[in-house]
């Protein structure tokens, strides 16, 4: 079964190698317009031929588990056309603090995704996306994610609504926990954290993010989401929903380069049906960089 993860990852990198041909001018033409330095001026998909690397370093800030774990969850995205983007992402990714520092494994999740912008105009855009998540890799759980992203901009403000549905494919009745993201949109990448939930059933996630361009190099974002297991093992959805909240600052010192920091509360106001979901207790900080070629 793990061979399917390798096939999906290989397919992504086969597409991304087109970027090298772009350097020679032999394949994909460069984007006609530069990527906006202002966050609120960006779109949900990268321009054709642009490669983006996003590297967030996560640090657990929960009271009794500070720095347990510390993790690096990079993502890579590539604009196949101006309206179609493929990517590879992680939720926990590479865990750096060791098994004595809160790491269940050094590396145990990966996801392959695609996003298509269906419409754009009048300060708004609509995109749809899909992903295949291998999270965790051991035990091997596969789920399929479908999502929609709607974005509105006006002056120095932008609002993003990005509901998604995660559908379990393999071993749906497992007692193991699957990992899924808590994503607050920063255009083509997201800040936030991840949530672990028992079983491999359907989970609805509805995150909303407000972005504010304070001045050209500096932007702020605030997000809130609700995560609802639609068919949880041993209860009903009202017993297990969570309500994450997150805040971020983003600086763009140069057009291809972002640096930022965020704080996310995994469950500020939701139910406390599962271990680790106590209100206000679970929180994480991220320091991140993003670079575009």
pLDDT for 272? 76
pLDDT for 166? 97
pLDDT for 64? 81
**CA of 90: how far to CAs of 58, 62, 105, 209, in Å?**
12, 21, 14, 20
Q: Up-side HSE of residue 223: CA atoms within 13 Å toward CB?
A: 32
Q: For the domain covering 2-292, report its CATH number.
A: 2.40.160.40
Structure-token match 């994480």, residue found:
284
Structure-token match 């966050």, residue found:
39
Helix-strand-coil percent breakdown of the chain, rounded to 5? Answer: 10, 50, 35
Calculate the CA 237 to chain-centre distance.
23
Calculate the CA 201 to chain-centre distance.
20
SS3 for 164-229 is EEEEECCCCCCCCEEEEEEEEEECCEEEEEEEEEEECCCEEEEEEEEEEEEECCEEEEEEEEEEEE
Question: CB burial class (10 A; 0-12, 13-18, 19+) of residue 269?
Answer: middle
pLDDT for 276? 62
pLDDT for 27? 44
Check if the beta carbon of residue 284 is closer than 8 Å to that of residue 266: yes
pLDDT for 10? 53
pLDDT for 33? 53
**CA of 164: how far to CAs of 14, 195, 202, 220, in Å?**
27, 14, 10, 23
pLDDT along the chain (293 residues), means of 10: 49 47 46 79 96 96 87 97 97 90 90 98 96 94 97 97 96 87 96 88 96 97 95 80 95 94 91 68 93 95
The single-letter DSSP state of residue 100 is: G
Neighbours of 236 (CB within 10 A): 12
């Amino acid at each position: 079964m793990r061979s399917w993860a390798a096939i999906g990852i290989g397919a992504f990198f086969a597409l991304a190698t087109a970027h090298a041909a772009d350097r020679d001018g032999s394949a994909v033409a460069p984007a006609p317009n530069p990527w906006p330095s202002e966050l609120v001026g960006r779109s949900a998909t990268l321009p054709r031929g642009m490669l983006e690397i996003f590297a967030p370093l996560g640090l657990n800030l929960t009271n009794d588990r500070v720095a347990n774990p510390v993790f690096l969850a990079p993502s890579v995205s590539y604009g196949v056309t101006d309206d179609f983007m493929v990517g590879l992402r992680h939720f926990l990714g590479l865990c750096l603090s060791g098994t004595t520092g809160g790491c269940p494994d050094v590396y145990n999740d990966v996801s392959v995704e695609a996003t298509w912008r269906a419409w754009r105009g009048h300060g708004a855009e609509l995109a749809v996306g899909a992903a295949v998540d291998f999270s965790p890799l051991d035990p091997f759980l596969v789920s399929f994610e479908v999502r929609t992203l709607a974005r509105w901009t006006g002056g120095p403000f932008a609002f993003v609504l990005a509901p998604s549905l995660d559908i379990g494919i393999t071993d749906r009745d497992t007692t193991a926990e699957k990992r899924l993201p808590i994503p607050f949109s920063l255009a083509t990448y997201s800040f936030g954290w991840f949530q672990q939930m028992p079983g491999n059933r359907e989970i609805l996630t509805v995150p909303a993010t407000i972005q504010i361009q304070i001045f050209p190099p500096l932007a702020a974002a605030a997000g809130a989401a609700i995560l609802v297991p639609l068919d949880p093992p041993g209860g009903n959805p009202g017993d297990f929903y969570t309500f994450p909240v997150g805040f971020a600052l983003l600086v763009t010192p140069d057009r291809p380069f972002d640096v930022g920091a965020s704080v996310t509360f995994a469950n500020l106001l939701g139910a406390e049906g599962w271990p680790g979901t106590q209100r206000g207790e679970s929180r994480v900080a991220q320091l991140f960089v993003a670079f575009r070629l």
